[in-house]
Amino acid sequence: MSEEPDADEATALAVRLRELEGELLEALSAGADAADPVALDQSRVGRVSRGDALQQQAMAQAGQRVLRQRLAAVRAALARVASGDYGRCTECDDPIAPARLQRQPEAERCVRCQSASEGASGR
């Protein structure tokens, strides 16, 4: 069983979560235009260029999905901070190692439960 973050660590991690939320919102906003639909006007853009634009759009949309997923995880972590459950595994209720929270402050599971979850899903 690992140690829980102390009060100072938890406060610093909560601040980091709020900063991360802002960074993710900014990144989502900045990348929104790249994920917009590609114009069908082939008189302005050739077929190859349009294909490139569609590929770039698909990559931008995938990036936006990843950012939205991480933003949801950060907001869930902030909700756990507010409820007093932050730093505890949502599966087994054991403390999440402070080193793990330093690397990934939105982590909701301890390493053991996360590994079991990834193994069960085939990832």
pLDDT of residue 61: 86
pLDDT of residue 39: 55
Which domains are delineated in the chain?
7-121 (1.20.120.910)
pLDDT-above-90 percentage for the chain: 58
Backbone angles phi, psi at 101, to 5 degrees: -70, -30
pLDDT band with cut points at 50, 70 and 90 for residue 108: very high
pLDDT tens column, 13-48: 999 999 999 999 999 998 777 655 655 555 555 566
**Beta strand segments in 39-78, E:** none
Q: Kindly state the average pLDDT of the residues 71-87.
A: 95
pTM: 0.76
pLDDT band with cut points at 50, 70 and 90 for residue 65: very high
pLDDT of residue 34: 62
Cα distance between residue 120 and residue 99, in whole Å: 24
> Considering only CA atoms, which of 119, 109, 99 is closest in space to residue 13?
99
Task: State whether the Cα torsion 45-29-68-110 is positive or negative.
Answer: positive
